[in-house]
Structure 1
């Protein structure tokens, strides 16, 4: 039960009540320091869920009075649907879902940013090429059928790749296909498409499964990794206090993941994802080291550039992405890792 004493003493609250009786926290107010016992947040963050358990950091959540209702949800389409049904507070995604949430009338805020320390060496995606299709450079994309999902990170990457190659949408055939599970790999293997962005960690598996299949690097930074939440959840004083705890522990969990690859492999890649030890090892090798940026400036600039590109290419409204980011949490995650922040976060 939410504690009335907390509601009466919380600092800088708006002073009005939300629909469920909790106090509303202004988006410009300081994050509350204390979490009322039993405060619950609903989060779709499967990898971090596993890491928190393996590292023992989940105990600190409980000690802080935070209860997490975990959801096996990640990615834009699933999370936006769950937000609209009020079944979820936050979800781990790339940066694109926050844009499409705004464009489709769902108000969210990014509360966590992480980066890959060497993003061009360890990209999240490669361009998978169907067996027998000749694509060895971005210029070879002309005339090809490319898997495309407008509301996902993969779709934005396709547009950025075309831009880098000096091509337009008219120079290729974009095949609308939501990326779920192995859908892109299956589409490539069946030659329903010629090219599709696939997880770099799965490229080796894909090439082994389909003789003649290949993959190429994009040469584009694609390391956006965020946690975004319903704005109404961030405005709930008690949930905001719980999220402050969660964001700090999430930052520490990522560093634990870097330092304990075997533990991460067993807890998530093998136990949750069902990968064998060797495939899990390949995933870790391709993942790269995750870092917590000292500032979100560069990440926000990259998100604005992506929003501008999508507004042009997809005929969306112009967005000021600063309205989608809750920078109060910037210091929370940086403070949680101290001197281990990634200084500069090179653009």
Structure 2
């Protein structure tokens, strides 16, 4: 099921006008333009929160590239999707839910690599006095999340586990960066929060209830997607394969260099204390590249069906079109460490 072609053309035109100046403004050491200065190929990359950029920089993976790289920052997975749809980026990093919605929206792109994090992911945190002590108490409650992001997918899985649907709660849709602030304000009963937000909120509100986390209900996947146009260009595809391998190499290095990563990302970028950064790093858990295989496709299809069942998609969405066996084979060979599995 895809949305109308007319809507896509209108969206692409509007976003191209809106995002091109933004992408051009993303140059500079802290946010984007890195490269060799002489490469004929330029990869346009969509990042979130400088996580991908920092991953590459901390282990020197942006040095001596045989191509140019331009990294633009987006505030959420849905915005990365908009960049892909508008044609202003070739490759984007996003959560499992935006990856599903990329296919549902008819964005011409394929999954090229997948990571799996073994930690809690998102946590449903209820404020003290909300009356929520378990998922069975969620009916009718005001719950904050960010629509069409991974924390939305997490919430639907939690509700499904309790035999509920989104219509059974009072949803409060807020921008991804504001979910923690809304919970702090006391205007909602609960919120789906990241590990970093959970740790900070619990420090200030030790009597808050941690109802359930993603380890119980989600597979912990995150996705890297490239446009069909970029993958069809032999030079860009070769550059993307190298870029994906560099991401995997840097990710492996991070696992053995906790303090360097905490300082580079949580302290410098996220502006956290070293102590909180170390706490979050340990709690988040190990992230590894895993094969793009049937297990990944089935997990994504199950999530798509859950969105349809909750009225968040107009009909059945077939996720198989987002996975190309030749793409999976080539990128798996570059990104998956020996012994990894999903």
The alpha carbon displacement at 1:67 in A equals 1.2
**1:92-132 deviation line (CA, Å, top 9, x unaligned):** 1112112222333432221110112xx3xx21110121242
Q: Given the superposition, is the C-alpha separation of residues 259 and 211 from structure 1 closer, same or farther in structure 2, using an over 3 Å criterion?
A: closer
1:282 corresponds to 2:279: yes
1:59 aligned counterpart, secondary structure: coil
Distance 2:288 2:187 in 1: 37
**1:7-40 deviation line (CA, Å, top 9, x unaligned):** xxxxxxxxxxxxxxxxxxxxxxxxxxxxx94311
1:188 corresponds to 2:183: yes
The alpha carbon displacement at 1:162 in A equals 0.7
- TM-score under structure 2 normalisation? 0.80
The alpha carbon displacement at 1:140 in A equals 1.7
1:258 corresponds to 2:258: no
Tell me what 1:42 maps to: 44
Q: Given the superposition, is the C-alpha separation of residues 38 and 267 from structure 1 closer, same or farther in structure 2, using an over 3 Å criterion?
A: farther
**1:216-271 deviation line (CA, Å, top 9, x unaligned):** 32321251111112222222222211111111111112111111111211222222
1:107 corresponds to 2:105: no
1:141-160 maps to which residues of 2 (within 5 A)?
A: 141-160=138-157
Give the conservation status (yes or no) of the 8 Å contact 2:112–2:331: no
Alpha-carbon RMSD across the aligned residues, in angstroms, is 2.2
The alpha carbon displacement at 1:206 in A equals 1.1
1:106 aligned counterpart, secondary structure: coil
Tell me what 1:25 maps to: none
1:163 corresponds to 2:160: yes
Bigger radius of gyration: 1
1:340 aligned counterpart, secondary structure: coil
1:303 corresponds to 2:304: no
Q: Given the superposition, is the C-alpha separation of residues 254 and 72 from structure 1 closer, same or farther in structure 2, using an over 3 Å criterion?
A: same
Q: Which runs of 5+ in 1 are unaligned?
A: 1-35
Q: Given the superposition, is the C-alpha separation of residues 317 and 66 from structure 1 closer, same or farther in structure 2, using an over 3 Å criterion?
A: farther
The alpha carbon displacement at 1:211 in A equals 6.1
The alpha carbon displacement at 1:48 in A equals 2.7
Aligned counterpart for 2:196 among listed residues 191, 197, 201: 201
Tell me what 1:237 maps to: 234
Tell me what 2:340 maps to: 342
The alpha carbon displacement at 1:197 in A equals 0.8
Q: Given the superposition, is the C-alpha separation of residues 251 and 74 from structure 1 closer, same or farther in structure 2, using an over 3 Å criterion?
A: farther
Distance 1:130 1:200 in 2: 16
Count of residues paired in the alignment: 300
Runs of 4+ in structure 1 displaced over 4 angstroms?
none
Distance 1:160 1:334 in 2: 28
**1:320-342 deviation line (CA, Å, top 9, x unaligned):** 21211244343445434675341
Tell me what 1:8 maps to: none
Q: Which runs of 5+ in 2 are unaligned?
A: 1-37
